[in-house]
A and B are shown apart, each in its own frame.
Chain A
Amino acid sequence: MKKAKNVHSAAAITNRSRRRSMQRYSPLFLLPTVIAFGIGFVWPFVQGIYLSFFRFKTLRFIEFVGFDNYTAAFQDESFLHSFVFTVGFTLVSVLIINLLAFAVALVLTKGIPGSTVFRTVFFMPNLIGGIVLGYIWKMLLDGLIIRFLDSTLALNATYGFWGLVVLLSWQQIGYMMIIYIAGLQNVPVEYIEAAKIDGAGNWQILRHITLPCVMPSVTICTFLTLTNSFKLFDQNLALTGGAPFRRTEMLALNIYQSFYNNVTNMGVGQAKAVIFFLVVVVIALTQLYFTRSKEVQE
């Protein structure tokens, strides 16, 4: 007994000392990632904020202008409009994508034959790039709109809005569906059986057992769809390009346009980008806080 204890503690000591000697190296192993993160993220980020206070075209010639760029950004009517448009778009697409993705996930976990094939098919659109999707959907939707509504995507901002919703839903539902399926498969069978024995109906099971159990998936999915919709760029550029009259321009595209369409000062675009960053952070953190609080801990 005593011997065994000794062996045990001896092993613990060697383990611990080994771990400690390994730990000494941790900064070394972290170094490559830290450097990459510094070069690829921290430095451009800091420089971006710094540059938003300057009037510049290239980094060699910059001129300090204080908050002028921010003033110009807030006075830009197209920026404010794109903000409202983006918020509207985000609300609608987050709702639609999550509802449909959850519905599809529910159906595909019922054990219908061919479920795996369907899962793959639904997931596929997510593998295609946004620009390509944008152009393809532009052709498809324009064909329909010209035929039945006597207009085009570029002429009517309402069609542009719904076109973007359709496009993003088509692309993202499959991805969110996979996350929901993973969540649904983790719902303990015992809970559902117990509820059935207690006489709960399908709706009650869904409402009081399944949904609370998949809340972590809901958190992830709303977070992803929220930020994806808010930051949408490629699809916007390819599908409508902001037409008509920049009425379907979302924030990211608006920033891009003010960055590259102004031949003398890119600072305004930079200021808009900083504002954009702050807004995305605030929204995402708020959303995380609220959905997290609904998650159940097992």
Chain B
Amino acid sequence: MKKWCSLALVLCLTLCLFAGCTGNMKEETGKVYYLNFKPEADSDWQALAQKYTEETGVEVKVVTAASGDYEQTLAVEIEKKNPPTMFQVNGPVGLTAWKSYALNITDSDIHKELISEDFALKDGDIVYGVAFVYEAYGLITNKKLLKQAGYDIEDITDFASLKAAAEDIHARSAELGFDAFTSSGLDGSSSWRFSGHLTNLPLYYEFTQNNVTAQPATIAGTYLDNYKAVWDMYIQNSATDPKTLTSKTGDDAVAEFQQGKAVFYQNGTWEYANATAIGKENIGYLPIYFGVNDEEQGLCAGTENYWVVNSQVSEADQKATLDFMKWLATSETGTMAMASGNMGFTCPFKSAKKPDNGLYDIVDQYLEDGKVSVKWMFPYTPNTDAWRAEVVSALSAYSAGTGGWELVKNAIVDGWSKQYQASHT
């Protein structure tokens, strides 16, 4: 009796170990698992997934990766027994990395919903991804403060006038009670604005000049002097000591802008909700004038968010995922949700709703005025995180005066070829 008891106990213990492994056996209907990239929109995605399940009975699971951890999370999740059926890549470079998992969606409905082929992520003629959000960044401007300093936003039409206004405001900051630029923080929560978004401008002008359409192995850094001029303007005309930039966060910059301590804040359409703290009517939006082709330059517009369907899941799941995407892009509930709340996306789909976002209105205005949007080139960056980390280190040293501009130049130009080599061998 005792023997059997102890045997049973041991078996119990052993079984407990495997309790976590019991899998889901039914596989017929197909289900959706979306690995979301944007943490700020997580709760909205969860609600939307639930609505879809209520409407159609198809199970939708949305998991959100922590900020900056998408690649890691995806690499782990995709190995699991029930991997994401729908995930995101940031563009051509991201597609190269995840090609073995990307389904050919050339003939899908979602591809046909795109307003322009520019938003399809292709390799050759085959479409592997569709952009689902279209964003733009520039200098979010507090028009009220600008007025107090004696300028109209219309006065600022190029780099020279922007710089003149900024220097004037900075010189009188004690008397005015505010400064020109918010802190250009180089802490991880803020540095991407400069290592990613600001570096896009020299890349854009160089790439358009050379007709670059695929990831180049090397870059020349032709426009880095302009980059330096803009960076100098940012850090010299701000209340923040350039030496302390490494400890300044993204939240610091937002707070300075919201509290009316600075006029210009470099960020994008996704910051609209934060920017409204200064009053919707006071929000202006200027291109990051770069001193190359200021007359025609608009905001920096593009996307680094493409949906990809996992080619390694069952056909039923692939179909369910494509149906879900179509529903997001075309149904009343789907389009409404995508354009509101924390999503508030401007989607490049034919039946997409317009989000309540004043910054997008200004983006459209620039286009109507015949300005040319600066395309997003940073998705071409090889080993993005590693490349950016070096640029940030270099910018930090340069700004604090512990290193010369050469460091920044090397980090951008030599760093590019170094990371290209690393990711291609």
Contact = CB atoms under 8 A, between A and B. Distances in A.
Contacts of B10: 25, 28-29, 31-32
B123 interface: no
Contact of B246 (A35, A39, A154, A265): A154
Interface stretch (B216-224, B267-275, B385-393): B385-393
B393 A245 contact: yes
Contacts of B186: 154
A114 to B, nearest CB: 37
Interface stretch (B71-79, B161-169, B290-298): B71-79
B93 A60 contact: no
Contacts of B75: 57-58, 260, 266
A241 B188 contact: yes
Contact of A61 (B17, B100, B383, B425): B100
A152 B422 contact: no
A155 B243 CA distance: 9
A265 B96 CA distance: 12
A155 B79 contact: no
B312 interface: yes
B243 A243 contact: no
Given A243-B246, A244-B393, A151 B97 contact: no
A262 interface: yes
A1 interface: no
Given A32-B13, A32-B17, A264 B243 contact: no
Interface residues of B, number: 42
A144 to B, nearest CB: 12
A228 interface: no
A263 interface: yes
Contacts of A39: 17
B210 interface: no
B17 A35 contact: yes
A146 interface: yes
Given A152-B400, A263-B97, A263-B423, A60 B14 contact: no
B247 A60 contact: no
Interface string A134-164: 0000110010001000111111100000000
A36 interface: yes
Interface string B395-407: 0110010100000
Contacts of B67: none
Interface in A103-157: 138-139, 142, 146, 150-156
B78 A58 contact: yes
Nearest to A138: B247
B229 interface: no
B243 A152 contact: yes
Contacts of A264: 96-97, 423-424
Contacts of A58: 75, 78-79, 100-101
A216 B169 CA distance: 68
A245 B96 contact: no
Most buried by B among A59, A153, A261, A265: A261
Contacts of B79: 58-60
A263 B389 CA distance: 15
A246 B391 CA distance: 12
Majority secondary structure of chain B interface residues (helix, strand, loop or mixed) = helix
Interface in A14-66: 25, 28-29, 31-32, 35-36, 39, 57-61
A72 B386 CA distance: 16
Interface in A261-287: 261-266
Contacts, number: 102
Contact of B17 (A36, A60, A72): A36
A265 to B, nearest CB: 8
Given A142-B247, A262-B422, A151 B402 contact: yes
B50 to A, nearest CB: 30
A257 interface: yes
Contacts of B100: 58, 60-61
Contacts of B115: none
B383 A154 contact: no
B7 interface: yes
B417 interface: no
Nearest to A55: B425
A56 to B, nearest CB: 10
A93 B278 CA distance: 50
B148 interface: no
A151 B243 contact: yes
Nearest to A261: B386
Contacts of B247: 138-139, 142, 146, 152, 154
Contacts of B236: none
**Which among A139, A244, A262 has the greatest number of chain B C-beta atoms within 10 A?**
A244
Given A28-B7, A146-B244, A262-B422, A155 B312 contact: no
B209 interface: no
Nearest to B72: A260
> Which of B78, B97, B247 has the most CB atoms of chain A within a 10 A radius of its CB?
B247
B248 to A, nearest CB: 10
B22 interface: no
Contacts of B386: 257, 261-262
20 contacts: A25-B6, A25-B10, A28-B7, A35-B17, A57-B98, A138-B247, A139-B247, A146-B243, A146-B244, A154-B396, A155-B246, A242-B389, A244-B397, A245-B394, A245-B397, A260-B385, A261-B383, A261-B386, A263-B93, A263-B96
Interface of B: 6-7, 10, 13-14, 17, 71-72, 75, 78-79, 93-94, 96-98, 100-101, 186, 188, 243-244, 246-247, 312, 383-386, 389-390, 392-394, 396-397, 400, 402, 422-425
Given A25-B6, A58-B79, 7 more contacts: A31-B14, A59-B79, A138-B247, A152-B244, A154-B393, A243-B246, A265-B423
What 4 pairs between A and B have smallest CB-CB spacing?
Answer: A154-B246, A261-B386, A263-B97, A245-B393
